[in-house]
Every structure is written in C-alpha cells, then in structure tokens.
Amino acid sequence: MTDLFPLLRLLPKLRREMSMMNDMHVKLMKYLDELIETSFVDRQNASYVSCFCDAEGPGFDRSELLYLVRDLVLAGAETTPTTLKWALLLLANHPDVQTRCQQQIDSVVTVHRLPSLNDRPNLPYLEATVHEIMRCKTITPMSVPHETLRDTNLAGHFVPARTMVKFIFVVLGINSVLLCCCLGDRGGIQRVPAVPRLFTFGESVRQKLKQ
C-alpha cells in the first residue's frame, strides 16, 4: 500500500511496522548469506547456489545470488499454503468434484508412483479445479507493481512501455480470459508458475487419501 500511497509512510503506526520489517529483512539477509557461504564450502551436494555458480561462472554477482535466494524463500510462503487450505476445505464440501478428480487421477497415475507435471496434460479436469479454487478464493487483492517492457494492447486498451501496472485479482477472477493470462509463467526467478506447485501437491494428496 505504501508503494501506491507514499504518504502513508508518515503515519506513526505504519512507520513502526515498516521499521520492524526492515530489521527482520536485515536479519533474514544475514542468515541467507551465511547459508550461501556454507553452500560454497559444500559443493558436493547439488543446490540452487551451486547450479547458479556453474551457470554464471566465476564472475557471478554475489548480491544478485543473495536476492534470488531471498525471493525463493519468500515467494509463496503465505499464498501457496493458504490456497492449499482452501482447496482442502472446498473439496471436502464438494465431494462430487473430489470424486471426479480422484477418478481422473486413478485413470492416469498408477498407485506405484507419485504424480508429476508430466501428467498435467492428461488431467484437464483436475487443472480446471485448481484454477477454479484460485478464482473463487483470491488470497491477495492485488499483485505487486510490475513495469511493462514494451508497448502492448490488453483487452482493447493501449499500455505504453515503462508503465507501472498492477493486477487486481478480485476483478481478474470474474474475467476468465484475463485470469488465464495472469496465471501464466512469471518472469525472473519466479518463472516457475504457482499453478504447477498446487497441481502436483493437490494431485498427490488426493492420490494418497484414497489409499
């Protein structure tokens, strides 16, 4: 909210909260930096840090690695678990949908292995259920600000390059076309979409519940 309304930073309560958040961020970054240093020492076990160093070479940017690891830790720390809780509650209240999902999983995935993203094209009803859960129970009202990289058109509206845009998820949930655009791959370190995480976890839970 302070990004949209900078004057809110002057309110005493928000100033205290922002100060606490900044202190917590400093402690988190220090802890993550220590973990990265440990990964440098232990290069025998593959990790994100070792893969990053191999890909970037000896001249990699240490601060960039630190912020990427921070994004991996923080991204989805609240939204994904909350969405999964809603999924369990909604499926418990709609046993017919749960049964249909289970039948589709049983027809594609054998009991001798866990589900994977390779099964996704063969489970359209399950994926549609995941999308519908995310549409019905929006966790956050709006996204973090993004900047357009080039001139583009969206739903008949011209959006010039270098424009700050924010998705209002509550509105997106009403428009299925815009929702599909919003749930696509993310850029940067968050390129792994949120939907596949929910897809594979929910699929595995439903598979094990029946057993």
pLDDT tens, position by position, 80-108: 888 889 999 999 999 999 999 989 988 99
Q: Span 186-211, mean pLDDT?
A: 52
Task: Name 165's bridge partners.
Answer: 146
Query: What is the reported pLDDT for 84?
Result: 87
Can you point out the beta strands (E) in the chain? 146-147, 152-154, 157-159, 164-165
Q: Span 182-203, mean pLDDT?
A: 48
pLDDT tier, 192 (very low <50, low <70, confident <90, very high otherwise): very low
Task: Report whether 172 contacts 54 (CB < 8 A).
Answer: no
pLDDT tens by residue, 142-178: 767 778 889 988 878 898 998 888 777 666 655 544 4
What Cα–Cα distance (Å) separates residue 81 from each residue in 9, 30, 85, 88, 201?
Answer: 30, 26, 6, 11, 11
Among 39-43, 56-60, 96-100, the minimum mean pLDDT is found in 39-43
Query: What is the reported pLDDT for 21?
Result: 85
Among 10-19, 42-51, 54-63, 81-90, the minimum mean pLDDT is found in 42-51
pLDDT at 14 over 60: yes
Can you tell me the distance from the alpha carbon of 87 to that of 162, in angstroms, rounded to the nearest whole number?
37
Query: What is the reported pLDDT for 185?
Result: 42
